[in-house]
Amino acid sequence: MTSVSAATGIVARDVCKSFGEHVVLDKVSLAVEEGTILALLGPNGAGKTTMVRILSTLIPADSGSMRIAGHDVVTDPDGVRAIIGVTGQFSAVDNLLTGAENLQLMADLRHLGREAGRRRVAELLEQFDLTDAAHKLLSTYSGGMRRRLDLAMTLVDQPRVIFLDEPTTGLDPRSRRTMWEIIRELAAAGVTILLTTQNLDEADHLAHQIAVLDRGRIVAEGTPAELKSRIPGGHVRFHFADLHEFHSAADLLPAAGPDQDQLVLQVPADDSVDSLRELLDQLHRARIPVERLSIHTPDLDDVFFAVTGSHVSAQPDQDPTPQGAER
């Protein structure tokens, strides 16, 4: 664990994968430095899950080279498996066992030994706030608890590289925060993390690097700050009660995009309190009453519009990996 060299982290070069005629990944390259988080950002059907499945040795790529912490995914899959942890999109837990038994199962399969295994299980139950539910069957677990257990199972043998496929999808905001905290702590402890998400906010909060995947191609990559600098800022929408107020406001705020039918003005602004106060002060001084307002922050669609000039590609709901396609 002490040797830090070029042979760490995740390196993938020109990864291609098709299911029949359908090209899912088209020469995807990415690199994740040791101890950092890369977010693979993209809509449904972009190929995120397929990329994770290939890197975690679940399905073979058609071509391309991939190394995980120096181990070649194609020629040394068992070497890869010994050092990675994977938490997939669908909960990979055993529903007929208790939380503690699930963790113990992982400890046994990782050959931790009786004492070390038991210690690690207790440690993880504590860390993931599952101690009280440790001996309950999973059928009594909430969605957030299952997701936490799922991640805990991934961490039993302290993997050096972790793949997280949409780790917070379907979680309530509080569970999502907890999950983010755990993920950040892992990276701080030196774990290399590749996570997929559809959520710009999540990528922004967690990732050191973001790669935007669209229809099997990386269309943009960089730090969150670099990416955001390419996205136009958000805007504030003011709703007015009548036409007179609407026109007065339109005269007052020339930068606004007016929508007379709906009596709405769309004014470019970031989501800082100062810029919002400035706008409201202007309207207040001119004695124009605002019925209500809404603030729009940049989202995945804006990223796509900025980097591809088109909106999020309309794709079916699922990653295009038909059942048993590689049979």
290-309: contacts with another protein (CB under 8 A): none
96, 243, 255, 295: which one contacts another protein (CB under 8 A)? 96
Among 32, 93, 100, 227, binds another protein (CB under 8 A): 93
Span interacting with another protein, options 35-43, 105-113, 185-193, 241-249, rule CB under 8 A = 105-113
CA pair distance 196, 275, nearest whole angstrom: 33
Phi, psi of 275, rounded to the nearest 5 degrees: -70, -35
Least CB distance to another protein at residue 88 (A): 6
d(CA 202, CA 79): 31
Query: How far is residue 38's CA from residue 163's CA, in Å, rounded to a whole number?
Result: 10
Minimum CB distance to another protein, residue 39 (Å): 20
* 100 C-beta neighbours (distance < 10 Å), count: 20
Find the binder of another protein among 110, 208, 239, 247 (CB under 8 A): 110
Sign for the CA dihedral angle at 86, 89, 91, 92 comes to negative
Between the alpha carbon of residue 56 and those of residues 51, 63, 187, the distances in Å are 9, 15, 18
206 and 184 in contact (C-beta within 8 Å)?
Answer: yes
What minimum distance in Å lies between the beta carbon of 106 and another protein?
A: 8
CB of 69 to another protein, least distance (A): 13
266 with 222: CB under 8 angstroms? no
Q: Which of 14, 94, 123, 204 binds another protein (CB under 8 A)?
A: 94
Taking residues 133 to 172 in sequence order and writing x for each that binds another protein by CB under 8 A, - otherwise, the string is ----x---------------xx------------------
105 binds another protein (CB under 8 A): yes
State the nearest-atom distance from the C-beta of 255 to another protein, in Å: 45
Q: What is the 3-state secondary structure (H, E, C) of 250-304?
A: HHHCCCCEEECCCCEEEEECCCCHHHHHHHHHHHHHCCCCCCEEEEECCCHHHHH
* Residue 101 makes contact with another protein by CB under 8 A: yes
- Residues in contact with another protein by CB under 8 A are 56-59, 78-79, 81-82, 84-86, 88, 90-97, 101, 105-106, 108-111, 137, 153-154, 318, 321, 323-324, 326-327
